[in-house]
Structure 1
Amino acid sequence: MNTSVKQRKLVTKTASRRLPERRPISDGGTPLWAQVKSSIIEMIADGRMEPRSKLPSETELCETFDVSRTVVREALKQLVFERLVYKHQGKGTFVAERRDEQDFIGSTVGFSDELMGKNKLVTRRVIRQEVALPTSRARKLLRLERDERVVLIDRVMIVDGEPRTLVRISLRQSAVPGIEALPLENRSLYETLRRQYGISLKRAERWIEAYTPTAEEAQLLQVSANTPLVSIESCSYGDGDDPIEYFIAIYRTDRARLHFVIK
């Protein structure tokens, strides 16, 4: 069977499953695997395949689209690469959950401030909140003297009941006296800085890298120990040249992806 005939058969069979109508594709058009991939994406997008639901087997997909197993495997390979589906060894292929887009990484808007603006329920679990000596990295970026202390705040940010980010914050103590005693379980840190101390963060430097969590971090974020995560390191400044905040955020990209706007 030549390519154009197989492509026409693919169009007929996918249409029978109530997919949007397609124009016949001539030789040299869209590859068969790309057509299968597109059809599966449409079924996910219009709700016929719900998140975490199992896709038909490779055999069933071959029969549905009248294509070879090689074509189906390439389509699934591309869908896995784009994180639209995931494979579970011995159980099959499943639809991935839809991920949020978060914009805080490219701005000085706080993590929770941004999500609450998107009608997400954000709660916080405080792990540590105390005055202590900074790490050597925090001391360097905050430009602290050797004996200067910081306020350490470790929190798990929870979105709609699910842990999303573990944030370890170091604040210049001289800029925020007494913040270690304030209840921060259910309030935005950046809003607290604005209201209590008159501090608005204006700019920040950030570094992003792939990260594998420790056993403790994996437990706090409710992921397996070998789950690939993203580490975001940040140093933020107020109106002047003195840095105010340093943090490292361990971020779950299986639940959201980071969005940047370059101007």
Structure 2
Amino acid sequence: MKSDVASTPRPANDSGTTAPREPLWSQVKHAILSLIQDERLPANAPLPSESDLCQRFSVSRTVVREAMNQLVYEHVIYKRQGKGAFVAGRRESQEFVGSIIGFSDEWFEKHRAVDRRILRQASTFPGARARELLQLPAGDGPESRVVEVSRVLSVEGIPHMLVTISIPEHLVPGLDQVPLQARSLYDVLRRRYGLHFQSADRWIEAVTTTAENAQLLEVTTSTPLIAIESCAHSASGQPIEYWQALCRTDVASLHFQIRR
């Protein structure tokens, strides 16, 4: 059955003239909100496809996309590339950015399942930025190498973060061979290598990303993401870990606690 989102009469204003009609995309947006409320769709419930919504509301795909984009902006829904749109529900806070706790450790404490997709795990030479912050010597000697681990971290099947971590190889011999799909990396670093992070410097900026990274995070290339760069130190001040991450904030918000 088709909706009459475009049939709302234009009311007269105080001067007796006809008021401008609400934009069609805004009418569709409110119709989708009514759909979510009337059917009591829970968080993470799938919404009808764009083509289904076009047919339901008798509007073009451009109108539906504008309405959906506005709902994404307002954090009412979120999109997963190739999978459609879903009800967002309440965004949970992520604390790991403002602390030394790891991403997996934080969600474990919240009793949430974390999936880890390993993209790369190898002994290699770091890029210039990682070498600078980790204070590694230039050259091709063993003291210049790092173990690099790139992963997509998902919470209950929804990708949250794409992260690449580099650790000086002399601190973690054999880490490139350790199975990490079902284990917290920070737990491995603590238990197997005795590495404990005491402080970290972090840089944060808003970015968009490449088509490849967008596909890994199941978002579009126009989706705003948060880029985080971090260098962690031991109690003695030695830099022992460098990472770069892309985070989705449509599914969780980053929380910082400032103390005097």
Match of 1:135 in 2: 127
The 2-side partners of 1:158 and 1:262 are apart by 27
Match of 2:228 in 1: 232
Residue 186 of structure 1: CA displacement?
A: 0.9
Q: Deviations over 1:174-227 (max 9, x none)?
A: 111111111111111110011001111111110110111111111111111221
The 2-side partners of 1:49 and 1:188 are apart by 33
Residue 53 of structure 1: CA displacement?
A: 6.6
Match of 2:30 in 1: none
The 2-side partners of 1:222 and 1:85 are apart by 14
1:214 aligns with 2:229: no
Map 1:44-63 to 2 at 5 A.
50-51=42-43
Match of 2:192 in 1: 196
Q: Look up the equivalent residue of 1:253 and give its one-letter code.
A: T
Question: Structure 2 vs 1, CA of residues 82 and 227 (structure 1 numbering), >3 Å: closer, same or farther?
Answer: closer
Q: Deviations over 1:92-115 (max 9, x none)?
A: xx9643212110000000000001
- Secondary structure at 2:97 match in 1: helix
- Secondary structure at 1:153 match in 2: strand
Q: How many residues align?
A: 199
Q: Deviations over 1:16-37 (max 9, x none)?
A: xxxxxxxxxxxxxxxxxxxxxx
Match of 1:101 in 2: 93
The 2-side partners of 1:255 and 1:82 are apart by 12
The 1-side partners of 2:91 and 2:243 are apart by 24
Q: Look up the equivalent residue of 1:126 and give its one-letter code.
A: I
Q: Percent identity?
A: 49
Query: Can you give the 5+ residue segments of structure 2 that lack an aligned partner in the other structure?
Result: 1-32, 49-69, 79-85
Query: Can you give the 5+ residue segments of structure 1 that lack an aligned partner in the other structure?
Result: 1-39, 55-77, 87-93
Q: Deviations over 1:238-260 (max 9, x none)?
A: 22221010000110111111011
Q: Look up the equivalent residue of 1:216 and give its one-letter code.
A: E
CA contact (8 A) 2:198 2:234 kept: yes
Runs of 4+ in structure 1 deviating by more than 2 angstroms, as ranges, are: 47-54, 78-86, 94-98
CA contact (8 A) 2:88 2:251 kept: no
Residue 117 of structure 1: CA displacement?
A: 0.7
Residue 79 of structure 1: CA displacement?
A: 8.4
Q: CA RMSD in A?
A: 3.2
TM norm structure 2: 0.68
1:115 aligns with 2:107: yes
Q: Look up the equivalent residue of 1:194 and give its one-letter code.
A: R
The 2-side partners of 1:237 and 1:104 are apart by 16
By relative contact order (CA 8 Å, sep 6+), the higher-ranking structure is: 2
TM norm structure 1: 0.67
Question: Structure 2 vs 1, CA of residues 79 and 183 (structure 1 numbering), >3 Å: closer, same or farther?
Answer: closer
Q: Look up the equivalent residue of 2:247 and give its one-letter code.
A: Y
The 1-side partners of 2:197 and 2:72 are apart by 39
Match of 1:241 in 2: 237
